[in-house]
Amino acid sequence: MKKGIIPAVTGLVAGVLASTVFFASTDVGPRSDANTSSTTKTNAEKVYVPFGEQDEYYLFASGGHSGQMFIYGVPSMRHIRTVPVFSQDSATGWGWSKESLELLGDYTWGDLHHPAFSETNGDYDGKWMFATDVANSRAAVMDLKTFTVKDIIEVPNTSGPHCAMFVTENTEYMFLPTRFSVPLGSAYASLDEYSSKYYGVMSAVQFDEEKEKLSIAWQVALPPWSYDLSDAGKGPSHGWAVVTTYNTEEATTNLEINASQADRDFIVLFNWKELEKMVAEGQYEEVNGQKIIFPSKHKGGIYLVPVAKSPHGVDVTPDGTRFIASGKLAPALTVFSFEKAFKAIENQEFSGEKYGIPILNYESVMEREVNPENALGPLHTQFDDKGMAYTTMFISSEIVKWDPNTGETLDRVPVQYSPGHSVAAEGDTVSPDGKYIVALNKIAKDSYLSVGPSHPESMQLIDLSGPKMEVIQSAPVNPEPHYAQMIKADKIKTIEVYDKDPNNPYAVYSQDQTRIERKGNEVHVYGIAMRSKFIFDAKAKRPDVIEVNEGDKVFVHLTNIDFDEDITHGFAINQYNLNIEVQPGQTSTVEFTANKAGTYPLYCTNFCSALHQEMSGYLLVKPKN
Amino acid sequence: MKKGIIPAVTGLVAGVLASTVFFASTDVGPRSDANTSSTTKTNAEKVYVPFGEQDEYYLFASGGHSGQMFIYGVPSMRHIRTVPVFSQDSATGWGWSKESLELLGDYTWGDLHHPAFSETNGDYDGKWMFATDVANSRAAVMDLKTFTVKDIIEVPNTSGPHCAMFVTENTEYMFLPTRFSVPLGSAYASLDEYSSKYYGVMSAVQFDEEKEKLSIAWQVALPPWSYDLSDAGKGPSHGWAVVTTYNTEEATTNLEINASQADRDFIVLFNWKELEKMVAEGQYEEVNGQKIIFPSKHKGGIYLVPVAKSPHGVDVTPDGTRFIASGKLAPALTVFSFEKAFKAIENQEFSGEKYGIPILNYESVMEREVNPENALGPLHTQFDDKGMAYTTMFISSEIVKWDPNTGETLDRVPVQYSPGHSVAAEGDTVSPDGKYIVALNKIAKDSYLSVGPSHPESMQLIDLSGPKMEVIQSAPVNPEPHYAQMIKADKIKTIEVYDKDPNNPYAVYSQDQTRIERKGNEVHVYGIAMRSKFIFDAKAKRPDVIEVNEGDKVFVHLTNIDFDEDITHGFAINQYNLNIEVQPGQTSTVEFTANKAGTYPLYCTNFCSALHQEMSGYLLVKPKN
């Protein structure tokens, strides 16, 4: 065992942890749980937001393989909205409207893992929300004025950007380290050639706020390992970023055992300012249309820091001086010092290299190993307004509060059960709020009314304002949040209606502009939706009827001319498998081929008025023969 | 104006109601709302379910054009689960697994309007939940042991079964009256021939509990009107059912105005026992494979009752003696007597007929017109344990409690805003519980943190236990619930894991049974998922790798052999646009064509253990050339 590395849980024990011991801490059901303080009246009052008042924070939780983003209010923990991102959502027509189909491309689902707010000076600015798709290597951006997605891009050469590195301090970059290593461009290559032909690529994505477009600035071809969680430096560590790795064993099968063999893996330390400079100087290769830095060839800017085996989270302290690695399979956390790291790099205190990347001496960078008694499975750390750290312990099912300055354990609270991540109020910014932390628990077990063999996950709200942490609310969650961010409610400024867009060729804002135009076998409908009717062609005998010929390609361009907050209309055609929505003032297009002759009612799917039920018409498709 | 018919809001006023007046009752924002009692500590305590306790009721809300069912706990109003029914749901692999694709057919979404529990003796029995799809004329059944959908069928000849008639007293039938009239089989026919060629078809669907299969027993071809809400008789009215109609004007355009012309529409009164007998005696025509009764030809069993214009809900009292129609565009409710109706039918007190269907005298059937002062837009009525009625008033945004025996208004409570339906605890059974009623509000306005121009809907929980109704909690809801049912929690008995199924040819329960079989260009993978690895072929060098040739048709049959509650595994392949889940003990199949050569990681999408992140492998697709 390498000196100085925390004694790690052995592979065998790891296997056991994954099965038997997994529930060791959950054998005591909630009814006999000792945390009786959560039953006091005070807790009920703390989380109750009476009608006429509003929640203090928005919580944005990734929706995992639902592909969506879940929006909650805190402290009520009420689910306010699911915003469609990577997966189809018929409730909003996401994946049916032409605009959304263009963004979604060939995919009808995604695996949204880590939400990240845009930042200004290391603080959430409430303007944009970013997210990545682990399943299909995509990045997305949501506009927080409308809570709708503005752009989605595919990121080639990677496979499974498990963790957006959150954004850098001024949203210069969003980093996407890949979870899985693959040959560049996902080319075919035998796993026998894993170490030579597979890469773990880290992508630097940029966002153009003006154009509302994402783009890939450059990529780094890393060793064929798995890259897990990450964080961006701040203040004194501005320009740097950290990423955890596992499977530095380069196992190609049965990772459960084989990727847990070595006592240590690495944290990758990026000097992104330096990498940016290298790209500007042409130190990269062009592969599949991307600028890729190969560290063995283009030296400098990337370093490895040894860390206890298979770490999960790595989190930069609010003051930007330290980064804290969670052990996952080790019983402890490691506090590293950026200052020490910078000095070690300057002094070239390297213990060797891997794939041409220098390895820093563990002792030169490590500041402290922290090992709260009997705490098992540290995964992820958040911070409060005093700089104190809160770490989720997956296996011992608790959150441990501790002091990064001393390593001292300050408080512990059991959560139910198996927390993955946690999110504190603005807890990964330069100025966390304290007040609240939410445990994102993977297992709900008997916390809620049963909904079958598969249960919801669970979020538990913990009050940080008293002398002891206290769980004050438990909220079930749809599958499956991985990470979340919590922002002060007053930072987000939504619009009430969409402005008229004089440049949109498909928008019509008055009845006399409505029309149905035919070009060959293409039919373009320029229609409006208003309380409580559709008008596709005001001059027609039946303005709410669309008549086409079998085989026609039909484009319905629909504008909602009710410029009233919350008056959204829907548009569906029976048996034509389509539904879109138009929010107040919005124009949207749906395209379909009229391949079924016959008579098909069309109707408003989004309740809009007392006469919503009457807001209908017909699509008549004249048979070919 | 016809004598005895409630003076109705005129077409002009109706139009105004739909636009300007719509918000008249909502001008006062929540911050200045007078309902200050909801801010008392008592309300916080009333809705708080501390960890270790569970909610008293399940609330099943239809998900509207989300196509899904939303499950809530009452009184906490926490959203526990979204169960996929008619729309794809990547979180659970619904719409990706072979089993779900077979049920969903050609559709990727639906518009789920009305949930209905199975009943025994007029009471919810907690065994099954039924629902209909307005968009694609389908019916579905969910098993409440697993909260998963077991069957979905298409119902031909109809278009938009807006309202399942809920089920009959012993789940003999689920009736699906159509909202839109169409030519039979959705054939093409000009709207100029609406009155002669279009029909509103009511379908009688049956459920075989043994086989877990739905089927269509028979249909009735009704006049070309719109059919809205419905209810089944109980006790003295067993064997009967009631349905409201609108657009008896037979307008074919601009229904907002044209379907609101006449002072009255009708309630259709069905004697389904009689109709059943007629079918048994061969009194039907076979059209598009269905047994259809044409009332003009096959006389008896159907009657019309005049009612104030464009009614919405019609609700049978718990004792089965009365049915109450809501006016929607009329200011009042009408209480009708089944006994009077039966007598009028016996005495043939008809005032005429429409399409060969006898019209009963309004005066012969009507018991009372109820007109709570200034209440506008009555939509739907539920009941409590004392037989008292609770009616949602859409336009005046309130719930009015009144006595069906006397018509006396007993209490009123404002809700925020524009309630469509409401649901009381077991409030449409033979034995309502009282205790709670939930208002399903169409407009949330500023009730919650803003999520853009389009807001969530809102459910408000009203406490019925005190001397006055009191709103005690407000919960935002995804778009968009139309109707709900609330059942005592202890009536539902879920299973913890799926039993082994020795008859499932795709299931493998031990590692030595795993294998990959090739038949021509078809590859069948018989694999298992277990904490924390996939085993597709235990004998292979890399048991968690699937290697195929470009163009192969691949079937992955996956069994979750973790027979532990809540240990669900997922299975996704990157860039192959697929994800399924296997609940504990379950076997599921996903089929795809390996049309992209290359290297694609596969992984478990549903967090399952501390080593979930390691639960991965590869799909290698060897290029053709």
Q: Do A33 and B51 touch (CB under 8 A)?
A: yes
d(CA A12, CA A25): 19
Structure tokens at B400: 């009015």
Structure tokens at B65: 């054009």
Chain A nearest CA to B277, separation (Å): 32
Question: Tell me, what's the pLDDT at B5?
Answer: 46
Q: Which residue has the higher pLDDT, A263 or B337?
A: B337
Separation of CA A29 from chain center: 31
Contact A51 B39 (CB under 8 A): yes
Site of tokens 């002398």: A467
pLDDT recorded at residue B42: 80
Name the residue among B50, B90, B91 with its Cβ closest to that of A39: B50
A51/B476 CB distance under 8 A: no
Q: What is the pLDDT of residue A37?
A: 42
State the average pLDDT over residues A322-336.
Answer: 92
Residues above pLDDT 90, as percent of chain B: 88
Question: Can you give the pLDDT at residue A354?
Answer: 97
Q: Does the pLDDT value for residue A539 go beyond 80?
A: yes
Domains and CATH numbers, chain A: 11-491 (2.130.10.10), 511-622 (2.60.40.420)
Out of A259, A494, A599, name the one closest to residue B188 (CB): A599
Question: Using an 8 Å Cβ cutoff, are B3 and B386 in contact?
Answer: no
| HSE of B563, CA atoms in CB hemisphere, 13 A | 6
Of A452, A542, A621, the CB nearest to B146: A452
Cα(A483)–Cα(A539) distance, integer angstroms: 53
Residues of chain B found within 8 Å of residue A67, distances taken between Cβ atoms: 90-91
| Overall residue count recorded for chain B in this entry | 625
Q: Three-class SS of residue B21?
A: helix
DSSP A240-296: EEEEEEE-TT---S-HHHHTT-SSEEEEEEEEHHHHHHHHHTT-SEEETTEEEE-TT
CB contact under 8 A, A601 and B160: yes
Q: Are B606 and A482 in contact (CB under 8 A)?
A: no
What integer best gives the mean pLDDT of chain B?
92
pLDDT band at residue B162 using 50, 70 and 90 as cut-offs = confident
Which of B349, B469, B342, B341 lies closest to B401, judged by CA?
B469
CB-CB contact of A577 with B108 (8 Å): yes
For the cut 70, the answer to whether the pLDDT of residue B31 exceeds it is no
Rounded Cα gap, residues B78 and B461, in angstroms: 11
Is the predicted pLDDT of residue B10 greater than 80, yes or no? no
What are the phi and psi torsion angles at B341 (to 5°)? -65, -45
Confidence band, pLDDT 50/70/90 cuts, at residue A165: low
Nearest-angstrom CA–CA distance, B74 and B48? 10
Best of B40, B45, B48 to disrupt the A interface (most A CBs within 10 Å) is B48
Residues 6 or more apart whose Cβ sits within 8 Å of residue A404: A317, A322, A324, A335, A387, A388, A389
- Quick: pLDDT tens for A448-481: 999 999 999 999 999 999 999 999 999 999 988 9
Query: What pLDDT was estimated at residue A329?
Result: 85
Q: Which of B329, B443, B618 sits opposite A566 (nearest CB)?
A: B443
Distance CA B103, CA B565 (A): 26
Q: Are strands B302-308 and B553-560 parallel, antiparallel or unpaired?
A: unpaired
From chain A, the residues in CB contact with B499 under 8 A are: none
Alpha helices in A199-316 (DSSP H): 255-258, 272-280
Q: What are residue B370's DSSP bridge partners? A: B333
How many CA atoms within 13 Å lie on the side-chain side of B245? Answer: 27
Indicate yes or no: CB of A91 within 8 angstroms of CB of B607. Answer: no
Give the pLDDT confidence score for residue A1 in this predicted structure: 35
Chain A CB contacts of B180 under 8 Å are 574, 601, 603, 616
Are the beta carbons of B161 and B179 closer than 8 angstroms?
Answer: yes
For residue range B485-527, list pLDDT tens digits in order: 999 999 999 999 999 999 999 999 999 999 999 999 999 999 9
Indicate the burial class of B541 (C-beta count within 10 angstroms; 0-12, 13-18, 19 or more).
exposed
What span, in angstroms and rounded, lies between the C-alpha atoms of B122 and A365?
Answer: 72
* Partner-chain contact A58 B449, CB within 8 Å: yes
Q: What is the pLDDT confidence band of residue B165, given thresholds at 50, 70 and 90?
A: low
A430/chain B closest Cα distance in angstroms: 25
Nearest chain A alpha carbon to B442? A607
Question: Cβ contacts (< 8 Å) between B413 and chain A: which residues?
Answer: none
Mean pLDDT check: name the lowest of A26-30, A121-125, B351-355, B521-525: A26-30
Whole-complex ipTM? 0.93
**A351 has a pLDDT exceeding 60:** yes
Residue A29 has pLDDT above 80, yes or no: no
Query: What's the mean per-residue pLDDT of chain A?
Result: 92
Joined together, the tokens standing for residue B35 give 């309902």
A253 to chain B nearest CA, in Å? 5
pLDDT of A41 over the 90 cut: no
Predicted confidence at residue B610, as pLDDT, reads 87
For the segment A92-129, what is each residue's pLDDT rounded down to a tens digit? Answer: 999 999 999 999 999 999 999 999 999 999 999 999 99
CB B532, CB B554: distance < 8 Å: no
pLDDT top residue among A31 and A103: A103
- pLDDT class of B327 with cuts at 50, 70, 90: confident
Mutation pick from A566, A590, A595, A616 vs chain B, by most beta carbons of B within 10 Å, is A566
Q: Which of A19, A252, A603 sits opposite B542 (nearest CB)?
A: A252
Residue B232 has pLDDT above 60, yes or no: yes
* Neighbouring C-beta atoms of residue B325, cutoff 10 Å: 29
For residues A594 and A607, give the distance between their C-alpha atoms in angstroms, rounded to a whole number: 26
Q: Could you read off the pLDDT of B312-326 as tens digits, one per residue?
A: 999 999 999 999 999
Q: Are strands B553-560 and B522-530 parallel, antiparallel or unpaired?
A: parallel
CB-facing half-sphere around the CA of B107: CA atoms within 13 A: 28
- How far from chain centre, in Å, is Cα A265? 25
| Chain A interface, best mutation among B65, B443, B580, by max A CB count within 10 A | B65
- Chain A hits for B600, CB-CB cut-off 8 Å, are 159, 182, 186
Supply the pLDDT for residue A18: 41
* Residue contact B51–A474, C-beta within 8 A: yes
Beta bridge partners of A398: A393, A414
Least confident range of A8-22, B135-149, B382-396, B429-443? A8-22
Q: What is the mean pLDDT of residues A519-542?
A: 98
Q: What distance separates the 2 farthest-apart alpha carbons in chain A?
A: 87
pLDDT tens-place string over residues A401-435: 999 999 999 999 999 999 999 999 999 999 999 99
Mutation site for B-interface testing, chosen from A112, A571, A574, A590 by largest number of B Cβ within 10 Å: A574
- Judged by average pLDDT, the poorest of A152-156, A608-612, B438-442, B575-579 is A608-612
SS3 B606: coil
- State the DSSP string of A143-175: ETTTTEEEEEEE-TT-B-------B-TTSS-EE
* A623 Cβ contact partners less than 8 Å away, ≥ 6 residues apart: A550, A597, A598, B188
pLDDT at A610 (0 to 100): 87
For residue B328, give the chain A residue with the closest CA: A610
Q: List pLDDT tens digits, range B415-466.
A: 999 999 999 999 999 999 999 999 999 999 899 999 999 999 999 999 999 9
Q: What is the DSSP string of A36-93?
A: GGGGSHHHHHHH---BTB--SEEEEEE-BTT-SEEEEEETTTEEEEEE-SSS-BTTTT
Is a pLDDT exceeding 70 seen at residue A144?
yes
Could B109 and A92 be called an inter-chain contact, meaning their C-beta atoms sit closer than 8 Å? Answer: no
From the candidates A541, A599, A624, A625, which should be mutated to test the interface with B, based on the most B CB atoms within 10 A? A599
Q: Give the model's pLDDT for residue B112.
A: 96
**Residue B501: C-alpha distances to residues B47, B102, B583 (Å):** 42, 20, 14
